[in-house]
Protein backbone atom coordinates (compact mmCIF):
# COMPACT_ATOMS: atom_id res chain seq x y z
CA UNK A 1 0.00 0.00 0.00
CA UNK A 2 1.02 3.59 -0.60
CA UNK A 3 1.02 6.40 1.95
CA UNK A 4 -2.07 7.97 0.36
CA UNK A 5 -3.97 4.68 0.87
CA UNK A 6 -3.15 4.80 4.58
CA UNK A 7 -4.09 8.48 4.71
CA UNK A 8 -7.48 7.62 3.18
CA UNK A 9 -7.98 4.85 5.75
CA UNK A 10 -7.07 7.22 8.58
CA UNK A 11 -9.48 9.83 7.24
CA UNK A 12 -12.33 7.30 7.41
CA UNK A 13 -11.34 6.27 10.95
CA UNK A 14 -11.14 9.89 12.10
CA UNK A 15 -14.64 10.67 10.81
CA UNK A 16 -16.36 7.98 12.89
CA UNK A 17 -17.03 7.52 16.58
CA UNK A 18 -15.73 9.55 19.47
CA UNK A 19 -12.10 10.58 19.88
CA UNK A 20 -11.68 7.87 22.55
CA UNK A 21 -13.06 5.23 20.18
CA UNK A 22 -10.79 6.46 17.40
CA UNK A 23 -7.78 6.20 19.73
CA UNK A 24 -8.56 2.53 20.30
CA UNK A 25 -9.07 1.82 16.58
CA UNK A 26 -5.76 3.53 15.72
CA UNK A 27 -3.90 1.65 18.47
CA UNK A 28 -5.24 -1.67 17.23
CA UNK A 29 -4.32 -0.78 13.65
CA UNK A 30 -0.76 0.10 14.73
CA UNK A 31 -0.32 -3.53 15.84
CA UNK A 32 -0.28 -4.43 12.12
CA UNK A 33 2.94 -2.47 11.46
CA UNK A 34 6.60 -3.04 12.13
CA UNK A 35 8.90 -0.08 12.86
CA UNK A 36 9.84 1.77 9.68
CA UNK A 37 7.07 0.20 7.61
CA UNK A 38 5.22 2.62 5.34
CA UNK A 39 2.07 3.78 7.10
CA UNK A 40 3.25 3.33 10.68
CA UNK A 41 4.45 6.92 11.18
CA UNK A 42 1.24 8.21 9.57
CA UNK A 43 -0.89 6.16 11.99
CA UNK A 44 1.24 7.33 14.93
CA UNK A 45 0.75 10.94 13.83
CA UNK A 46 -3.02 10.42 13.61
CA UNK A 47 -3.00 8.74 17.02
CA UNK A 48 -1.16 11.73 18.48
CA UNK A 49 -3.84 14.05 17.12
CA UNK A 50 -6.67 12.01 18.60
CA UNK A 51 -4.88 11.71 21.96
CA UNK A 52 -4.51 15.49 21.97
CA UNK A 53 -8.27 15.80 21.40
CA UNK A 54 -8.96 13.72 24.53
CA UNK A 55 -6.35 15.83 26.37
CA UNK A 56 -3.95 12.92 26.90
CA UNK A 57 -1.01 15.22 26.27
CA UNK A 58 1.61 12.76 27.51
CA UNK A 59 0.25 10.05 25.23
CA UNK A 60 0.06 12.45 22.30
CA UNK A 61 3.65 13.55 22.89
CA UNK A 62 4.85 9.94 23.01
CA UNK A 63 2.98 9.07 19.79
CA UNK A 64 4.48 12.11 18.00
CA UNK A 65 7.97 11.25 19.21
CA UNK A 66 7.47 7.64 18.09
CA UNK A 67 6.40 8.88 14.63
CA UNK A 68 9.50 11.08 14.42
CA UNK A 69 11.74 8.22 15.54
CA UNK A 70 10.07 5.84 13.07
CA UNK A 71 11.10 8.20 10.29
CA UNK A 72 8.55 6.86 7.85
CA UNK A 73 6.70 9.14 5.43
CA UNK A 74 3.80 11.24 6.71
CA UNK A 75 1.51 13.74 5.04
CA UNK A 76 2.25 16.26 7.80
CA UNK A 77 5.55 16.41 9.66
CA UNK A 78 4.80 14.87 13.10
CA UNK A 79 6.70 17.74 14.71
CA UNK A 80 3.72 19.95 13.81
CA UNK A 81 1.44 17.86 15.99
CA UNK A 82 4.10 17.75 18.69
CA UNK A 83 4.21 21.56 18.70
CA UNK A 84 0.41 21.82 18.88
CA UNK A 85 0.29 19.31 21.73
CA UNK A 86 3.04 21.03 23.72
CA UNK A 87 1.31 24.40 23.30
CA UNK A 88 -2.06 22.93 24.31
CA UNK A 89 -0.44 21.30 27.37
CA UNK A 90 1.15 24.60 28.41
CA UNK A 91 4.64 23.15 27.91
CA UNK A 92 6.05 26.36 26.44
CA UNK A 93 9.74 25.50 26.86
CA UNK A 94 9.21 22.21 25.04
CA UNK A 95 7.18 24.03 22.39
CA UNK A 96 10.02 26.52 21.91
CA UNK A 97 12.48 23.65 21.34
CA UNK A 98 10.16 22.03 18.80
CA UNK A 99 9.67 25.40 17.12
CA UNK A 100 13.43 25.88 16.87
CA UNK A 101 13.73 22.45 15.23
CA UNK A 102 10.89 23.25 12.82
CA UNK A 103 12.47 26.57 11.85
CA UNK A 104 15.71 24.76 11.03
CA UNK A 105 13.77 22.30 8.88
CA UNK A 106 11.94 25.17 7.15
CA UNK A 107 15.25 26.82 6.30
CA UNK A 108 16.42 23.65 4.56
CA UNK A 109 13.19 23.37 2.57
CA UNK A 110 12.04 20.27 4.46
CA UNK A 111 8.67 21.87 5.31
CA UNK A 112 5.98 22.89 2.86
CA UNK A 113 3.26 25.50 3.04
CA UNK A 114 0.83 23.09 4.73
CA UNK A 115 3.24 22.58 7.63
CA UNK A 116 3.92 26.32 7.87
CA UNK A 117 0.19 27.03 8.02
CA UNK A 118 -0.34 24.28 10.63
CA UNK A 119 2.46 25.71 12.79
CA UNK A 120 1.11 29.25 12.36
CA UNK A 121 -2.40 28.14 13.30
CA UNK A 122 -1.14 26.42 16.44
CA UNK A 123 0.81 29.52 17.43
CA UNK A 124 -2.18 31.75 16.71
CA UNK A 125 -4.44 29.56 18.86
CA UNK A 126 -1.85 29.79 21.67
CA UNK A 127 -1.87 33.59 21.43
CA UNK A 128 1.65 33.80 20.06
CA UNK A 129 0.63 36.17 17.29
CA UNK A 130 4.03 37.56 16.23
CA UNK A 131 5.36 34.03 15.78
CA UNK A 132 2.16 33.03 13.96
CA UNK A 133 2.62 35.96 11.59
CA UNK A 134 6.15 34.80 10.80
CA UNK A 135 4.96 31.27 9.97
CA UNK A 136 2.00 32.46 7.88
CA UNK A 137 4.45 34.63 5.93
CA UNK A 138 7.04 31.90 5.21
CA UNK A 139 5.11 30.28 2.30
CA UNK A 140 4.77 33.71 0.69
CA UNK A 141 8.41 34.76 0.70
CA UNK A 142 9.20 33.46 -2.79
CA UNK A 143 6.08 34.98 -4.36
CA UNK A 144 5.66 38.62 -5.27
CA UNK A 145 2.28 39.89 -4.03
CA UNK A 146 1.46 41.20 -7.52
CA UNK A 147 1.49 37.60 -8.81
CA UNK A 148 -1.86 36.86 -7.20
CA UNK A 149 -2.40 33.52 -8.94
CA UNK A 150 0.81 32.15 -7.37
CA UNK A 151 0.03 33.27 -3.82
CA UNK A 152 -0.87 30.67 -1.17
CA UNK A 153 -4.42 31.68 -0.18
CA UNK A 154 -4.64 29.91 3.23
CA UNK A 155 -1.39 31.60 4.25
CA UNK A 156 -2.75 34.95 3.06
CA UNK A 157 -5.96 34.51 5.05
CA UNK A 158 -4.10 33.52 8.21
CA UNK A 159 -1.59 36.31 7.82
CA UNK A 160 -4.36 38.86 7.25
CA UNK A 161 -6.28 37.67 10.32
CA UNK A 162 -3.20 37.83 12.58
CA UNK A 163 -2.14 41.23 11.25
CA UNK A 164 -5.63 42.60 12.02
CA UNK A 165 -5.38 41.15 15.54
CA UNK A 166 -1.99 42.82 16.00
CA UNK A 167 -3.36 46.13 14.70
CA UNK A 168 -0.87 46.30 11.83
CA UNK A 169 -1.62 48.35 8.70
CA UNK A 170 -2.48 46.69 5.40
CA UNK A 171 0.53 45.70 3.32
CA UNK A 172 1.09 44.35 -0.21
CA UNK A 173 0.13 40.78 0.78
CA UNK A 174 -3.08 42.00 2.42
CA UNK A 175 -3.95 43.87 -0.77
CA UNK A 176 -3.12 40.73 -2.80
CA UNK A 177 -5.56 38.80 -0.60
CA UNK A 178 -8.26 41.39 -1.24
CA UNK A 179 -7.55 41.23 -4.99
CA UNK A 180 -7.76 37.42 -4.94
CA UNK A 181 -11.09 37.53 -3.10
CA UNK A 182 -12.42 40.08 -5.60
CA UNK A 183 -11.39 37.78 -8.48
CA UNK A 184 -13.11 34.80 -6.84
CA UNK A 185 -16.28 36.84 -6.33
CA UNK A 186 -16.21 38.01 -9.94
CA UNK A 187 -15.85 34.41 -11.15
CA UNK A 188 -18.77 33.32 -8.98
CA UNK A 189 -20.95 36.09 -10.37
CA UNK A 190 -19.73 35.61 -13.97
CA UNK A 191 -18.87 31.91 -14.45
CA UNK A 192 -18.39 32.43 -18.20
CA UNK A 193 -15.23 34.50 -17.68
Q: Note whether 1-111 and 116-193 share their fold.
A: yes
pTM summary value: 0.90
pLDDT the model gives residue 133? 98
Mention every residue, 6+ apart, whose C-beta is less than 8 A from residue 94. 86
Architecture of domain 116-193: Alpha Horseshoe (1.25)
Q: Give the C-alpha separation, 161 to 55, whole Å.
A: 27
In tens, the pLDDT along 46-84 reads 999 999 999 999 999 999 999 999 999 999 999 999 999
Q: What is the CATH number of domain 1-111?
A: 1.25.40
Domain boundaries, the chain: 1-111, 116-193
d(CA 60, CA 123): 18
Amino acid sequence: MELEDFADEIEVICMTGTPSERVEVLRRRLDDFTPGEIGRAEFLTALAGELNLVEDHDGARQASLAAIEDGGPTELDPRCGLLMNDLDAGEHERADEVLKDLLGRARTGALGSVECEWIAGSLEKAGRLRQALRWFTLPLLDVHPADVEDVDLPALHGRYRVRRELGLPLDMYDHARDEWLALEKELEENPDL
